[in-house]
Structure 1
Amino acid sequence: MAVTLEGKNKFVPPPDLGNKCPEDDVRRFITDCMKAVGVPQENALLMADILVEADKRGHYSHGLLRTEMYLADMLKKLCDPCATPTVLKENASTALVDGNNGLGPVVSKFCMDLAIKKARETGIGWICNRGSNHYGIAGVWAMKAAEEGMIGMSFTNTSSLVVPTRSVKPVLGTNPIALAAPAEGGNFVLDMATSVVAGGKVEKKVYEGKPLPENWSLDKEGNPTTDAKKGLEGFLLPLGGAEETSGYKGFGLGMMVEIFCGIMSGGTYGPNIRDWTKADRPADISHCFVAIDPSCFAPGFESRLGDLMNYCRNVQPVDPQKPVMVAGDPERINSEKMKADGGITYDMSLIEEMWKLAKYLGVKPLQSV
């Protein structure tokens, strides 16, 4: 899964690097890297915002760690950093969009903005697109609708990394699901892979030199493994893990996402999607974005949802030191901690890789607090 730019590793990092970086400088660094490979300023800023948001929310597998993956596609001319999406067909509430092989976040912003616009006019906007690339964390796109007082949903297909129940051959991607809804006291934000874990979290374990928990991965021969490097070379299990622990439910959810994305959009789907470790052709990723205006239904949506969320938070926990949380709470806590810490703390091995990347691209390296 790891992406390494040829020639980058000839640079040797200095021994005095720090691993806590100001949020603004992480954003500056990613923007500079994107611009160095031909991404226009506006698109580079959007890319930086999406990756930094992932790290702020604690989804480190999709933040700074992903920078090199995006750059590799552009350096190999497999993605068009200047592309503008086009609407192929639409009606009052739906649209089919061609991303024209543009940057995933650029395509996604276009599509979710369109979904929100249609939802304001008709109560719902449902947009499918093909011809895109990796779009970051799914939750950030659903959150854009919630910020406008709407229920937002976001789905994407990905390269085949996940084995179906009873198989040792990957067919589907991690195919994430996200739903965000406005609520009093803090929005509900569900952001989850339909695999037992996102692929980037296996990669993060490799960076950290830590073993994998059981039931995350299979090695390339199809055997369960806790060795992070073997897991990185192998496959992921669907959400739920083995058949005995209901892994078929995760497999079914992954298929549902594929129906919304590759199948409905007419794009590439399932095992036909590019192996992202090879990066030998355009990714042709498909997404789906939904916005729903809750005011079209019973009044008081935000207060009722807030009431339910607070009830859940206040039920008796198994461990008094670990209160019950609802979707969105861990991310809020992580963002607040980052703010209190005065920066984002990364694993030192990632900081060293980003230093090498800065030298490779000729941009100013990340600064530490």
Structure 2
Amino acid sequence: MYLTFTQSTLRSFTQNIFKAMGCSQEHAILAADVLLKSDLRGIDSHGVARLSGYVRLWEKQRINATPNIKIVHETATTATVDGDAGLGLVVAPFAMKVAIEKAEKYGSGWVSVKNSNHFGIAGYHALMAVEKDMIGFAMTNASPLVAPTFANERMLGTNPMCYAFPAGKYPPVIVDMATSAAANGKLEIAQRTGKNVPEGWIQNADGEYTTDPHALKTGGALLPLGSDREHGSHKGFGLSATVDILSGVLSGANYGPWVPPFVAFMEPAANAPGEGIGHFVGAMRVDGFRPVKDFKTNLDNWIERFKASETINDSQKVIIPGEPEREAEAERTTNGIPLVLAVVDDLNAVAEKFGIEKLVADA
């Protein structure tokens, strides 16, 4: 069962929860904006459904609601940011602003981040660069839930990466994806709705395929993009490794099996080599390569040609990266955001804890 809410209702509720945690007004507004962007774009696994997880980590003193986010290493075009255990929803936009400022001066800017937490959807941060006629990059490592090709041990996170390109008369092209066969949030959605997941997403504790979305709780693991060696899982493993190295090894954050878990009941691994979760963001000025107008005209042409490509049958169409999310945002902006009842109950339990007015469906 789903209940529907306007974005203003969810935004106000989410801001109030973050402020109850001790976040400043500025940080509460920003953090809520990142989560709402996810829900609007149809990425339900990373929206307000994650809010109770942030609260539980804050209660365990693993999230600092009042961080001193700062640059700790810097050159003209690069920087490393220490997030001071703050919300990744706040730390990553800070880092992207640094990258954009460097790109404005020197053509490109690259920032690694350590000592952060879960940063929501990568697309939010990459799109910040697009607004400045830049190409945006954003990636993050994550809790170890994925077994590398041929392994039966969780070593990597879902480790998403995003590339965003500004177009002219069309919306940006946004490639935003996990490097695992599926994002963990999709398992959580399946768990809440009582559904199985497709074969090829997870392996059980014995390394065998399973469709049980609860398999991670009994020693199973997510699989890399490609699912198995015969279908290219080594490529997904390679992409995930790239994200982990840029986000963790380069910044001084944790990496591989030492990345802290998002769930509060699991303690971070002992003898961790770094600090917190790591991100990597970047911005490149389009006019560092060619006039912006020319690039956008050609990207519009690219979009049109791909949309016009011959399909297998008339009922199908080529989908440009970012198109489903844009369509979801248009629909949900008008008709509201649906939340499964289990998520609403979870959020209202958090509201009751803080003495905040509970969510009531708008429709």
Asked whether the two chains share a fold, i.e. TM above 0.5, the reply is: yes
Give the Cα separation in 1 of the matches to 2:309 and 2:126: 27
1:248-280 deviations in Å (ceiling 9; x for gaps): 000000011112111111221111112333343
Residue of structure 1 in register with 2:227 after alignment: 241
Give, in angstroms, the shift of residue 281 of structure 1: 4.6
Residue of structure 2 in register with 1:297 after alignment: 289
Residue of structure 2 in register with 1:154 after alignment: 138
- The answer (yes or no) to whether the contact 2:162–2:177 under 8 Å persists in 1 is yes
SS at match of 1:346: strand
Residue 77 of structure 2 is aligned to residue 85 of structure 1: no
- The answer (yes or no) to whether the contact 2:215–2:221 under 8 Å persists in 1 is no
Using the size of structure 1 for normalisation, the TM-score is 0.92
- The answer (yes or no) to whether the contact 2:86–2:117 under 8 Å persists in 1 is yes
Match among 16, 35, 56 for residue 51 of structure 1: 35
SS at match of 1:265: coil
Residue of structure 2 in register with 1:6 after alignment: none
Give, in angstroms, the shift of residue 96 of structure 1: 1.2
Give, in angstroms, the shift of residue 353 of structure 1: 2.0
Give, in angstroms, the shift of residue 298 of structure 1: 2.3
Residue of structure 1 in register with 2:182 after alignment: 197
Give the Cα separation in 1 of the matches to 2:80 and 2:262: 25
Residue of structure 2 in register with 1:265 after alignment: 251
- The answer (yes or no) to whether the contact 1:95–1:127 under 8 Å persists in 2 is yes
Give, in angstroms, the shift of residue 171 of structure 1: 0.6
Give the Cα separation in 2 of the matches to 1:18 and 1:155: 31
1:114-140 deviations in Å (ceiling 9; x for gaps): 000000100000111111000000111
Give the Cα separation in 2 of the matches to 1:220 and 1:30: 37
Structure 2 segments unaligned to the other structure (5+ residues): 270-274
- The answer (yes or no) to whether the contact 1:202–1:231 under 8 Å persists in 2 is no
Residue 300 of structure 2 is aligned to residue 306 of structure 1: yes
What letter is aligned with 2:276? Answer: D
What letter is aligned with 2:279? Answer: H
Residue 354 of structure 2 is aligned to residue 361 of structure 1: yes
Note closer, same or farther for the CA distance 1:225–1:183 as it changes in structure 2 (3 Å cut): same
- The answer (yes or no) to whether the contact 2:261–2:268 under 8 Å persists in 1 is no
Map 1:319-358 to 2 at 5 A. Answer: 319-341=313-335, 343-358=336-351
- Aligned-pair identity (%): 36
Residue of structure 2 in register with 1:14 after alignment: none
Give the Cα separation in 1 of the matches to 2:167 and 2:198: 34
- The answer (yes or no) to whether the contact 1:202–1:232 under 8 Å persists in 2 is no
Match among 314, 318, 321 for residue 312 of structure 2: 318
- The answer (yes or no) to whether the contact 2:118–2:262 under 8 Å persists in 1 is no
Structure 1 segments unaligned to the other structure (5+ residues): 1-16
Map 1:203-242 to 2 at 5 A. Answer: 203-231=188-216, 233=218, 234-242=220-228
Deviates more, 1:51-60 or 1:225-234: 225-234
What letter is aligned with 1:280? Answer: E
Residue of structure 2 in register with 1:5 after alignment: none
Give the Cα separation in 2 of the matches to 1:354 and 1:276: 17
1:10-30 deviations in Å (ceiling 9; x for gaps): xxxxxxx97001110111111
Residue 272 of structure 2 is aligned to residue 285 of structure 1: no
Give, in angstroms, the shift of residue 303 of structure 1: 1.2
SS at match of 2:15: helix
Give the Cα separation in 2 of the matches to 1:28 and 1:286: 29
Alignment: residue pair count? 352
Residue of structure 2 in register with 1:136 after alignment: 120
- The answer (yes or no) to whether the contact 2:57–2:262 under 8 Å persists in 1 is no
Give, in angstroms, the shift of residue 295 of structure 1: 0.3
SS at match of 1:151: strand
Note closer, same or farther for the CA distance 1:74–1:101 as it changes in structure 2 (3 Å cut): same
- The answer (yes or no) to whether the contact 2:99–2:110 under 8 Å persists in 1 is yes
Deviates more, 1:275-284 or 1:49-58: 275-284
Give, in angstroms, the shift of residue 69 of structure 1: 0.9
Give, in angstroms, the shift of residue 86 of structure 1: 1.2
Using the size of structure 2 for normalisation, the TM-score is 0.93
Deviates more, 1:205-214 or 1:343-352: 343-352
Give, in angstroms, the shift of residue 244 of structure 1: 0.8
The CA RMSD over aligned residues, in Å, is 1.6
1:198-220 deviations in Å (ceiling 9; x for gaps): 11110110011111011001123
- The answer (yes or no) to whether the contact 1:78–1:281 under 8 Å persists in 2 is no
What letter is aligned with 1:292? Answer: M
Residue 10 of structure 2 is aligned to residue 26 of structure 1: yes
Match among 99, 102, 105 for residue 118 of structure 1: 102
What letter is aligned with 2:178? Answer: A
Map 1:2-41 to 2 at 5 A. Answer: 19-41=3-25
SS at match of 1:31: helix
SS at match of 1:257: helix
Give the Cα separation in 2 of the matches to 1:30 and 1:239: 32
Note closer, same or farther for the CA distance 1:137–1:18 as it changes in structure 2 (3 Å cut): closer
